[in-house]
Amino acid sequence: MRDGVPAPVAAGVREDTAAEPVRVTIPPRYCPLPGAAHPEADRLNACAAAWIQGHGLCRNGAQRVRMAGNDCGGFYGRIMPAAPAGRLQLAVDWCVLMFAFDDLHCDEGPASLRAEDFTGFATRLLRVLEAPGTVRGGPADPFLAAADDLAARCRAAGTPVQVRRMVDGHRAWFLGVLWEFGCRLRDRTPSLDDYAHLRQHTAAGTATMSWTEIIDGTEIPGAVMDSPAVRALNELAFTTAAFDDDLFSYGKERWLAARSPYSSRCRLNLVDILAAEHGLGLEAALAAAVDLCDRLTLRFIQLRDRVLPTACAPLRLHLDHLSHLIRGNIEWGLRAGRYSNPDGRHPGAVTTTGSFTGTAPRADAPPPLPSIAWWWDRF
């Protein structure tokens, strides 16, 4: 065991056909960034559960089990481990709602092929976030009522600029999800270059981190947030976290795919895309995915350390949150029941192990991906 995470014996995936579990071993990950858990994560989870169940969601059966397994207090608590719990609750409640939304309307089962249903629902949800009270939810749409509550609380706690950034983050997320629908409906795996720049959006990177400013009670000036270096740092952090998600969710996706009545050639996971594009076996594809994550992590650290000396106080807080996101996301993902109990009915169906290494990647040049090369070329 290294850094509190079970160490692997060899990179790869093994399926036991008798008991049907899936075991994934991720090669050691370079990530010399801070990691810490929030001391009140359990209470945050309990309050979030009471809140979403009060809106008629995740009350029973597998949905309730999956909600608990998401450990949203553990996830967001690792991004902001020192935040006051009362303010952090807003982001944890959002995580609980949006994980449920993602599972039911975006990624899994028949819903993953019904783009028209997603489009109609997402546009209503976006309008609720833009203008609370303008779209009525009810027994048939408990998501909208819960989102309306979040939007109202967001406006009470945040500035108009922070609210706009939150809404824009969701718009980018939903656009990314529509791109994924297009890939599935064409039954085609996207190119690695396309996936590299869109993954930050399909993983709701901006939407997820938009709550940190509101919780901090500080506003990053627009000229700072929109500067090329800060934009690059945001994209680097969001993409790295999303690629790591592809690693620790790989076993879950494999388990669900084996039980799906739908056969598809479309793969929306970094490991599978690397394997398809470069003709790699599974172990080599896992190693290539980790190497790419390591290179992005190193580039984030290099650019962050160039920006920090002249950063204003709100930006310094933001960069600290991004640093905690990258490390904390890995630590959370390797433990979360979301990935070990894929459908809420099969605890322990997937086992994913990983570790950390202090050895930096050898390659310091940008990967051969034009869509993200500017993270290196412009600085």
pLDDT digit string, tens, across residues 182-195: 999 899 999 999 99
Q: How much is the pLDDT for 312?
A: 98
d(Cα 247, Cα 229) in Å, to the nearest integer?
27
d(Cα 78, Cα 92) in Å, to the nearest integer?
11
Residue 8 has pLDDT above 50, yes or no: no
The residues pairing with 14 across neighbouring beta strands, listed in sequence order, are 23
d(Cα 284, Cα 271) in Å, to the nearest integer?
9
d(Cα 229, Cα 375) in Å, to the nearest integer?
8
- CATH top-level class of 22-376: mainly alpha
* Residue 140 burial (CB count, 10 A): 7
Asked if residue 300 lies in contact with residue 240, where contact means CB atoms within 8 angstroms, the answer is yes
The residues pairing with 25 across neighbouring beta strands, listed in sequence order, are 12, 353
- The residue type found at 22 is V
Q: How much is the pLDDT for 4?
A: 37
Mapped onto helix, strand or coil, the DSSP state of residue 14 is strand
pLDDT level of residue 118 (50, 70, 90 thresholds)? confident
| pTM > 0.85 | yes
Dihedral sign of CA atoms 121, 123, 128, 133 in order: negative
Q: How much is the pLDDT for 137?
A: 62
Q: How much is the pLDDT for 169?
A: 98
Q: What is the DSSP letter of 190?
A: P
Dihedral sign of CA atoms 47, 48, 49, 52 in order: positive
Residues 6+ apart with CB under 8 A from 180: 106, 202, 268
